[in-house]
Structure 1
Amino acid sequence: MTEHKPTDYLSYIDRVWRGEDTLLAHLSGVYFGEELVRVRERVGFLPAFANVAVFDTGDGLLLVDSGDIRTAAPLHAAVRAFSTQPVGTVVYTHGHVDHVFGVAPFDAQADGEGRPRPEVIAHEAVPARFDRYVSTAGYNTWINRRQFGVPSLDWPSTYRCPDTTYRERMTVERGDLTFELVHARGETDDSTYVWVPELKTLCTGDLFIWNTPNAGNPQKVQRYPEEWARALRAMQELGAELLLPGHGVPIVGRDRVHQALDDTARLLESLCEQTRELMNAGHRLDAVLHGVQVPQELLEQPYLHPAYDEPEFVVRNLWRLWGGWYDQNPAHLKPAPEAAVATEFANAAGGASVLAQRALKLLEEGEPRLASHLAETAALAAPADVEVARVRAHVSTGSGRRPRRRPWPVGCSAGRRRSRPRWRREPIWGPS
């Protein structure tokens, strides 16, 4: 792996902002070496899937987030190279597992040196999140195995809980720096953004992630798009000159920070306003989903591409938040078992294979949504039919070509993969 100097990384993040480069190098670890990137005096930055910011307070180090379990050891080594001062404080911006599993090496070092462990500070809802993770570890194991294709993944059941919690706001003074912690509900109900006024630096956590806001993830708990937009507006008023996000690259310069926060807020505000208007007009969920028009000029911004979440999923989440789970389709209120409904449709169409072949035709005609309905119906009606299952899998990939009669060998593309650090080869646990 080729290592790059911090100056290379700063040049790289400028290209990403301009749309001349992608986040791939950042996420794959090309720019992570033995040292933190010093994005400005007294501020170190770990570029990883889930970022970590390190502040030299003049009286010890303060970390904003701590990364996931696989970056824990590299983070510890990088921080030790960054400064000989001890880590006295860690702030969790929220309780997702990719942000809270890097504290253990610092705890162990403190224990070995006979001094207090770092004080972990978080919003008061973080411990409740950890409790939920423990009680739903089985569910989170299955959804993340499926989402990230890691059949051996086991959801963690032990967590480093915060030592200190707060409710709305908290001022943390360390050395000659001030850290203003502010609670906001957005992707999570336990979010914190951190403002360092002396350095004009803003740490957003997952309130900004270089993506369409993850405000509607289908398999995850409730999100709060309207409050998320308000938090973005509040952050916008701070006049930050450096934005360190939970995911993705830093944004440097007051105008750029203002623009990124403004565009993200406008996207969420538009989705909220349109969804509310259609709901108030008495439309059911199907009409709302297909009636909301996404501002395309916003989605074209490099920091708002819908790669992890979709705007229409945000609409679904707003419906759940404001209107409950019923979509106003009477057939869905007390439905028959899906397999029974599918069997009736298949019988009426002349068999599951007929539905499957029609699904392939629709896919070739550029109708992947309709194709998905028919492929899923066929598979539910004939769960033991291998050819129907193959069609269903093919339709789910979105490819316009018909599937092969035999599945291709597993791992046929492995030889083309770029070599990456060992701790980056496994997919990341998905937040919940």
Structure 2
Amino acid sequence: MTEHKAVDYPSYIDRVWRGEETLLAHLSGAYTGDDLVRLRDRVGFFPAFSNVAVFDTGDDGVVLVDSGDFRTAQQLHTAVKRFGAGPVRSLVYTHGHVDHVFGVFPFDQEAAATGTDRPEVIAHEAVTARFDRYVRTAGYNSWINRKQFGVPSLEWPTTYRYPDTVYRDRLTVRRGTLTFELIHARGETDDHAYVWIPELKTLCTGDLFIWNTPNAGNPQKAQRYPEEWARALRAMQELGAELLLPGHGVPIVGKERVHQALDDTARLLETLCEQTRALMNAGHRLDAVIHGVEVPQDLLAKPYLHPAYDEPEFVVRNLWRLWGGWYDQNPANLKPAPEAAVAAEFAGQAGGALKLARRATELLAEGKLRLAAHLAETAALAAPTDTEVARVRAEVYAHRALKETSTMARGVFNWASAESAALARGTDVATELTRTPEGRRRADGAISVGVVDDEDGCC
């Protein structure tokens, strides 16, 4: 990393806090290089899509909190070596998502080459089960992440570095003159933890804080735990941290700012939980709950709570799944007919699939995108090889994607649009994805996309 970038990083993160800058420079690697950013005398920070916190223990080498993904593994190794604090003794996984655990391999390879001990990897006990599950569901993970991120060639990994030391509730690790308190907290995942270093007043949150609406509702991933997540944020508030190092996004410097960020995030999750529970207790169907929860827009306007990855509507759905199961209280959905059969019946009564598709186009022009999607999808299910119906479906979902703020919604809608556009034009999904705005930005190198989520989700 060049000197001017390292010097400029503190002013950059201050501008991000004030909403004067976006996270793009951080996430795209503008501040990632061969040197760590020194945030304190003994605290190094590797700013990338997935951050890594690096601690100089004084006389017992280095401790890493997380290790980033495979794309930055070699850079991280070089930067830690240049940090000059000795070998990596311990490496803590805050959770088992692939964008946090794949930077360990160069350190293991170095140990094998030099005949020294490889770093001790420490993680919650559920990380082992997660890795086992990833191997068994690699095909599924490949497909959902291709759709979510618009990367048709993505292949899910099947080799993982399992932890050496595991714990259940909490673990105290002492290295040199520093104490690392690892506290388990279910939130985005069941295997999550945050790390508190009291001597440095520093808090490593992992993905419990990511400069986005909490990733507590990802529609294609396993269960999340919003209420326990909020409790963890409240517990972190009580620590009085002066430096917060997040799993994604820039650090937060200063006790008041740290307290505010944790408080606002907890309040957002708490109101979603409270409103969802109240509507469920009143006997409403899932449909009424989804559309009945009122999201506080003042919180979403915070620079660190934008719904740019996940979004509150998905969190509500995840709470229903957690508290109420998969049945949405619509009796027709308890034991439904095949979707294609229902669509064919509707299309037949409406005068044909093309008539439904044309009505979808009218609704699209009226700005009724949700209704337009229902009709376009029904038409496509009823007439799966009709190229004119496919063209309408492609158009509807392309418009939906343009109107969305979250990566998750855009990814699903862009993929659906590309599927139908490929049918209508006689091409393939990969070709059609390059026609989307995000596909063009990827081609131009303006954004970086890789394996950044998994079966249980990531930021």
Same topology, TM > 0.5: yes
Structure 1-normalised TM-score? Answer: 0.95
How many pairs align? 430
Distance in structure 2 (CA, Å) of the matches to 1:185 and 1:297: 26
Distance in structure 2 (CA, Å) of the matches to 1:36 and 1:420: 24
Deviation at 1:66, TM superposition (A): 0.4
Residue 21 of structure 1 is matched in structure 2 by: 21
Residue 396 of structure 1 is matched in structure 2 by: 397
Distance in structure 2 (CA, Å) of the matches to 1:92 and 1:297: 33
Structure 2-normalised TM-score? Answer: 0.89
Residue 103 of structure 1 is matched in structure 2 by: 104
Spell out the pairing of 1:292-331 with structure 2 (5 A cutoff): 292-331=293-332
Choose 15-24 or 354-363, whichever is displaced more.
Answer: 354-363
3-state SS of 2:146 partner: helix
Residue 224 of structure 1 is matched in structure 2 by: 225
Structure 2 CA distance for partners of 1:407 and 1:78, relative to 1, 3 Å:
farther
Tell me if the contact between 1:379 and 1:389 (Cα under 8 Å) persists in the aligned partners.
yes
1:311-367 deviation digits (Å, cap 9, x = unpaired):
011111111111110000000001000001011111111111111111121122111
Residue 80 of structure 1 is matched in structure 2 by: 81
Tell me if the contact between 1:67 and 1:102 (Cα under 8 Å) persists in the aligned partners.
yes
Distance in structure 1 (CA, Å) of the matches to 2:102 and 2:144: 20
Deviation at 1:84, TM superposition (A): 5.0
The code of the aligned residue for 2:355 comes to V
**Identical aligned residues as a percent:** 75
3-state SS of 1:221 partner: coil
Spell out the pairing of 1:241-320 with structure 2 (5 A cutoff): 241-320=242-321
**Structure 2: segments with no counterpart, 5+ residues:** 404-416
Tell me if the contact between 1:2 and 1:30 (Cα under 8 Å) persists in the aligned partners.
no
Choose 60-69 or 34-43, whichever is displaced more.
Answer: 34-43
Distance in structure 1 (CA, Å) of the matches to 2:5 and 2:115: 35
Tell me if the contact between 1:4 and 1:30 (Cα under 8 Å) persists in the aligned partners.
no
For the aligned residue pairs, the C-alpha RMSD in angstroms reads 2.3
Deviation at 1:288, TM superposition (A): 0.7
**Structure 1: segments with no counterpart, 5+ residues:** none
3-state SS of 1:398 partner: helix
Residue 94 of structure 1 is matched in structure 2 by: 95
Distance in structure 2 (CA, Å) of the matches to 1:407 and 1:305: 38
The code of the aligned residue for 1:153 comes to L
Moved >4 Å (runs of 4+): 1-4, 399-421
- 1:427 pairs with 2:428: no
Tell me if the contact between 2:93 and 2:121 (Cα under 8 Å) persists in the aligned partners.
yes
Tell me if the contact between 2:50 and 2:100 (Cα under 8 Å) persists in the aligned partners.
yes
3-state SS of 1:304 partner: coil
Choose 172-181 or 141-150, whichever is displaced more.
Answer: 141-150
Tell me if the contact between 1:3 and 1:32 (Cα under 8 Å) persists in the aligned partners.
no
Deviation at 1:113, TM superposition (A): 1.9
3-state SS of 1:102 partner: coil
Deviation at 1:70, TM superposition (A): 1.2
Distance in structure 2 (CA, Å) of the matches to 1:149 and 1:212: 21
Distance in structure 1 (CA, Å) of the matches to 2:149 and 2:168: 34
3-state SS of 1:178 partner: strand
Residue 53 of structure 1 is matched in structure 2 by: 53
1:65-111 deviation digits (Å, cap 9, x = unpaired):
00111111111011111125100000000000000011111011112
3-state SS of 1:54 partner: strand
Tell me if the contact between 1:12 and 1:21 (Cα under 8 Å) persists in the aligned partners.
yes
Distance in structure 1 (CA, Å) of the matches to 2:306 and 2:290: 19
